[in-house]
Every structure is written in structure tokens, then in C-alpha cells.
């Protein structure tokens, strides 16, 4: 795998807040959560549980296993597959970033303890290829043992749960951010060869083109130039790219440019015309129209909304 491309994909992710919780549940139990606009993490400290997602086989988690949901996919989690569930909102009606809660579900059966986090990040900061990640990535206890920094951070989070130390919210945010990035890095390295995102990263032609789009998005790319970067014919490159990434090369380029434009609008005072040049547009009108089509609002309105937040 191209480590440079992997770093480019993960580095822009910036967490804005984390809601974390510790669960102690005795069988029988089951909870169903709707899709959320954040990444999710479940770390099993003790016991076992089963994760079920629509269209996927159940995933069994045991003590020491870590499951990451990059897109916050809706799922069910229970002591056994097929268990009746209650809505997550009935147990945690509000989950504001920066808060922490403890949840206990009583029953006569075996006990499971989990540490869970909902990691809120700016979607505009996520690289376009991030959308191709599977709905859930699992690191079992053996794989986690080979990641000492990740394992130590999770252990530290679990140990500090009952301590009300100064700055705990900030520590939790940074710790979960580290867990998130380290888990994604480790999980990407262990994906099955057939996963689209891994095939794209490892493709000898599409991989370099992806890296060029990620890093050099401001250059005057055309389909012909990207194909040349990949060392392929125009038609063969377009077909391979679409098959692996799920969208046309030029749309992927636009997504990368709009990602960076949104970041610059919120994080810098640069005027719109300067941002347009920074992301590869020679025409202010062309940039304005593309941005509005992409985000459903003008660059100025997007900037004002970001400032208010």
C-alpha cells in the first residue's frame, strides 16, 4: 500500500467533539442505533456481543476487540444475533459532543462491558476516497495486540473513566482522535484484498492518479492528463477508475477541490477569488457555480455559517 496516499487520506480528518459512554449490559439485551453523522467506535472491555448491519453477516466481538464505523452506519448490537432491541435514543436521548455517560442494562445473564465513542468530524475535511471505506472495520484482540500505541490508548481511556481530572473532556477528545486514526490505519492494512478502497490504493495506475488528485488538485487536470499520470489510455483509465472508486475521475477531482475550498472558507480569511485559484479554478464564476452546485449554497453563505458555528 502507498503509505503516502494513506497519510494523505487520514491526515485531514479533524475531530470537532466526541460523545463517549461506558456500557455495562447483562443478557438478554439489544440496542438499535440509527445512522449518525459521525464516526462510531465500540471497544469491548469484557464479555461478548454481536453487531448486525443490514445486508451484512453478524459480527461477533469478544473482549479486546475494536469495531470502527467510519460513516456512523446504523446498526444493532446485542448479546446474541436476532435479539429484540430497544432504540438507542430511549437509553441515551441526547448525545452532545463533549459529554460522557454511563449506561447499565440489568439482566440475569452474562455481563458485557464496552467503551463507546461518537466522533464528530467535519465532513468537508474527509478525503473523497473516505466514502469508499466499508461500513464497519474490525480489529480483533490479536490484531490490537500488535498495535501497542492503540492498545495503550484504549486501556488508558478505560482506566480514566471514573476520574474527574481537570481537562478530562479535552483529553478524551484527543485520545479518541488518536484511537480513530490509529484504528483506521491498522484496519486498512488488514482489509480483504477485494475491498474497493484497498484495490484502489494498491492499483499500480489508479493509486498514483489518486495521490496526484489528493495532493495536486490545483493543477489544470483533464481526463487526458490524469490518464497520462496513470500511464494508461484515456478510456482504460476512466473505466478502471470508475470501477474501483465508484465515480468518474473528474467528479473525484471536483470533490477534492470542493473539500479544500470548504476548509479554506471556514479556516482562513482568504478572499473567494484567492480560494478559487488555490483549488484550481481560473474563473471566479466557474468556482462560484461549482461550489453552489456541490454544497447547495454560495461560498459566502458557507463561510458565514461556519463563522457562526
Q: In order along the chain (309 residues), what is the average pLDDT of each group of 10 residues?
A: 59 74 96 92 96 94 95 95 96 87 95 93 69 84 92 85 64 83 79 64 84 91 95 94 88 92 92 97 96 95 80
Q: Is residue 136 a part of any domain in this protein?
A: yes
> Can you give the pTM of this predicted structure?
0.78
72 and 29 together in one domain: yes
CATH number at residue 86: 2.60.120.280
146 and 177 together in one domain: yes
Residue 175 confidence (pLDDT): 86
28 and 111 together in one domain: yes
Q: Is residue 195 a part of any domain in this protein?
A: no
Q: Is residue 16 a part of any domain in this protein?
A: yes
Q: Is residue 197 a part of any domain in this protein?
A: no
174 and 221 together in one domain: no
181 and 260 together in one domain: no
Residue 1 confidence (pLDDT): 45
170 and 28 together in one domain: yes
3-state secondary structure the chain: CCHHHHHHHHCCCCEEEEEEEEEEEECCCEEEECCCCCEEEEEEEECEEEEECCCCCCEEEECCCEEEECCCCCEEEECCCCCCCEEHHHHCCCCCCCCEEEEEECCCCCEEEEEEEEEEECHHHCCHHHHHCCCCEEECHHHHHCCHHHHHHHHHHHHCCCCCCCCHHHHHHHHHHHHHHHHHHHHHHCCCCCCHHHHHHHCCCHHHHHHHHHHCCCCCCCHHHHHHHHCCCHHHHHHHHHHHHCCCHHHHHHHHHHHHHHHHHHHCCCCHHHHHHHCCCCCHHHHHHHHHHHHCCCHHHHHHHHHHC
Domain count, the chain: 2
128 and 13 together in one domain: yes
Q: Is residue 277 a part of any domain in this protein?
A: yes
State the residue range of the domain holding 304.
Answer: 203-308
- Give the domain-ending residue among 189, 211, 237: 189
Amino acid at each position: 500500500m502507498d503509505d503516502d496516499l494513506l497519510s494523505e487520506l487520514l491526515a485531514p480528518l479533524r475531530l470537532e467533539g466526541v460523545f463517549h459512554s461506558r456500557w455495562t449490559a447483562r443478557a438478554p439485551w439489544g440496542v438499535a442505533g440509527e445512522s449518525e453523522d459521525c464516526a462510531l467506535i465500540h471497544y469491548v472491555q469484557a464479555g461478548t456481543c454481536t453487531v448486525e448491519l443490514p445486508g451484512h453477516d453478524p459480527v461477533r466481538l469478544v473482549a479486546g476487540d475494536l469495531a470502527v464505523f467510519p460513516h456512523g452506519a446504523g446498526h444493532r448490537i446485542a448479546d446474541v444475533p436476532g435479539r429484540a432491541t430497544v432504540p438507542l435514543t430511549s437509553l441515551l436521548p441526547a448525545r452532545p459532543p463533549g459529554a460522557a455517560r454511563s449506561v447499565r442494562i440489568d439482566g440475569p445473564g452474562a455481563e458485557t462491558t464496552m467503551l463507546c465513542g461518537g466522533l464528530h468530524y467535519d465532513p468537508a475535511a474527509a478525503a473523497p476516497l473516505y466514502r469508499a471505506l466499508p461500513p464497519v472495520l474490525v480489529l480483533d484482540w490479536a490484531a490490537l495486540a500488535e498495535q501497542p500505541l492503540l492498545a495503550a490508548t484504549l486501556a488508558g481511556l478505560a482506566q480514566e473513566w471514573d476520574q474527574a481530572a481537570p481537562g478530562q473532556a479535552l483529553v478524551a477528545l484527543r485520545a479518541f482522535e488518536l484511537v480513530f486514526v490509529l484504528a483506521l490505519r491498522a484496519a486498512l492494512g488488514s482489509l480483504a484484498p477485494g475491498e474497493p478502497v484497498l484495490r484502489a490504493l494498491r492499483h499500480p495506475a489508479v493509486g498514483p492518479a489518486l495521490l496526484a488528485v489528493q495532493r495536486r488538485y490545483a493543477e489544470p487536470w483533464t481526463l487526458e492528463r490524469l490518464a497520462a499520470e496513470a500511464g494508461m489510455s484515456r478510456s482504460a483509465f476512466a473505466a478502471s477508475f470508475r470501477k474501483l472508486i465508484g465515480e468518474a475521475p473528474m467528479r473525484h477531482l471536483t470533490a477534492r477541490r470542493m473539500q479544500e475550498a470548504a476548509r479554506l472558507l471556514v479556516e482562513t480569511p482568504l478572499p473567494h477569488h484567492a480560494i478559487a485559484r488555490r483549488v484550481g479554478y481560473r474563473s471566479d464564476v466557474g468556482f462560484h457555480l461549482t461550489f453552489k452546485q456541490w454544497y447547495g449554497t454560495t461560498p459566502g453563505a458557507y463561510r458565514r455559517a461556519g463563522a457562526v458555528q
